[in-house]
Amino acid sequence: MKKIAILGSTGSIGISALDIIEKNPKRFEVVALAAGQNVSLIKKQIEKFHPRVVALKNKEKALKLGEILTVKNNIKILYGEEGLKEVASCAPADMVISAISGAAGLIPTLAAIEAGKDVALANKETMVIAGEIVTKQAKQMGIKILPIDSEHSAIFQCLEGQKRNNLSRIILTASGGPFVNFTKKELKEVKPNQALRHPKWKMGKKVTVDSASLMNKGLEVIEARWLFNLEYNNIDVLIHPQSIVHSMVEFIDGSILAQMGIPDMRIPIAYALTYPERITNDLPPLNLLETGNLEFYKPDIKKFPCLALAYNAGISGGTNPAVLNAANEVAVEAYINGKIKFTDLPNIIEKVLALHDSVENPSLEEILQADHWARIQASQNIERKIS
């Protein structure tokens, strides 16, 4: 029986993970859950899965949960960063699913690693902003980081049993999001509700907007650099609108291995949870006769500059990736709230990066400082745009 703690249990990944756990009761037990604000959903999750420790975003939500909870025996209800850390390092857990969105996932993910837990990683921002520290710490603790992100799960699967020095490059695929065929002019006018309608994947708001701007792919390039210890010139991106090939690996003899499947996050989540085993599920199988043509295109970085910004931030390294990510988080929130245009996203991020004095080989403290600084800069930039 594998004991699981979930950071972000009421989000899209958390809900899918609990669906897998519920259908495999002999394999998994939930021991701890952390959520943000959705008190009514976590109440239902507690009543179904009986975790011992639960954490919410703040004291008010934790008190509210305490009031409405009917099963109170032996449940510890916590809140804030301390609560997240306690869920992440919860004594009986074997594995922690890191599925909080954004830079907020970093500290609890590090807490899980420091407590010796294997990590099933959905929170790509952790790797983007502190990939070096996280991978070093994981190595030191002897724990595994198993990718949940579908592209990285694909590459992880394609690399299984392969000799590392035979690897030539990896090719991350991107659906291209809802605006892949829009003109630059049309992109200026796209509304948040359009950006939030992803053609292939059902996901949280932040990652859906990131998919539309291609920032998601940029963050995934940096994530791949650290997860698989690659150089940036060995990481390529192709637009693949059908989202059937989840990513590919090319070897020195010209052979390419691809992992295919229907676009459903439950497949990569389950693989991270059961690796190196596989389990059955009740999802429809991929029917290649019905998918039609599989297409691949070069991404248009003139129309979607976020991808190039991410590559550049990754290559220049230091605290630049943390700044890229923080500015993006602030800009995406402003876009969702209707404060800025879709095409403002890359401009804001680029301006904040241009002002930043990157710190080489940053400590965790320096990364968090850069993140904080970038959020202030991005907010000021947005305020100036509005006023």
Q: Which of 273, 207, 209 is nearest to 11 (CA)?
A: 207
Which residue minimizes CB distance to Mg ion?
149
Q: Which is nearer to Mg ion, 39 or 97 (CB)?
A: 97
Minimum Å distance from CB 159 to Mg ion?
Answer: 17
* DSSP string computed for 344-378: HHHHHHHHHHHH--PPSS--HHHHHHHHHHHHHHH
- Cα separation of the two ends of the chain: 57
Token output for 151: 């592209």
Minimum Å distance from CB 220 to Mg ion?
Answer: 6
Number of residues counted as binding Mg ion (CB under 5 A): 3
Long-range contacts, 39-44 (Cβ 8 Å, 24+): 39/64, 39/65, 39/68, 40/68, 41/10, 42/9, 42/10, 43/68, 43/69
Minimum Å distance from CB 114 to Mg ion?
Answer: 26
Minimum Å distance from CB 27 to Mg ion?
Answer: 25
Q: Which of 4, 117, 97 is nearest to 51 (CA)?
A: 4
Half-sphere exposure of 151 (CA within 13 A, CB side): 29
Minimum Å distance from CB 133 to Mg ion?
Answer: 22
The answer to the question of residue 223 lying near Mg ion (CB under 5 A) is no
- Which region, left, alpha or beta, applies to residue 101 given φ > 0 means left and ψ of -120 to 50 means alpha? beta
Cα–chain-centroid distance for residue 53?
24
Q: Which is nearer to Mg ion, 54 or 207 (CB)?
A: 207
Residues numbered 127-156 forming contacts with Mg ion, rule: CB under 5 A: 149-151
Token output for 345: 């996203």
Q: Is 233 exposed, middle or buried (0-12, 13-18, 19+ CB in 10 A)?
A: exposed
Minimum Å distance from CB 341 to Mg ion?
Answer: 25
Q: Which is nearer to Mg ion, 220 or 333 (CB)?
A: 220
| Spatial separation of the C-alpha atoms in residues 184 and 160, rounded to whole Å | 41
Residues numbered 348-367 forming contacts with Mg ion, rule: CB under 5 A: none
Name the amino acid, one letter, at 169.
Answer: R
Residues for the chain: how many in total? 387
Q: Which is nearer to Mg ion, 57 or 217 (CB)?
A: 217
Minimum Å distance from CB 246 to Mg ion?
Answer: 8
Q: Which is nearer to Mg ion, 219 or 348 (CB)?
A: 219
| Spatial separation of the C-alpha atoms in residues 268 and 153, rounded to whole Å | 6
Q: Which is nearer to Mg ion, 69 or 230 (CB)?
A: 230
Q: Which is nearer to Mg ion, 149 or 333 (CB)?
A: 149
Q: Which is nearer to Mg ion, 125 or 149 (CB)?
A: 149
Residue tagged 């609990």 (tokens)? 18
Minimum Å distance from CB 18 to Mg ion?
Answer: 20
The kind and range of the H/E element at 95 are: strand 95-98
**Structural contact between residues 306 and 346, judged by C-beta atoms closer than 8 angstroms:** yes
Q: Which is nearer to Mg ion, 304 or 373 (CB)?
A: 304
Minimum Å distance from CB 53 to Mg ion?
Answer: 29
The site for Mg ion (CB under 5 A) is made up of 149-151
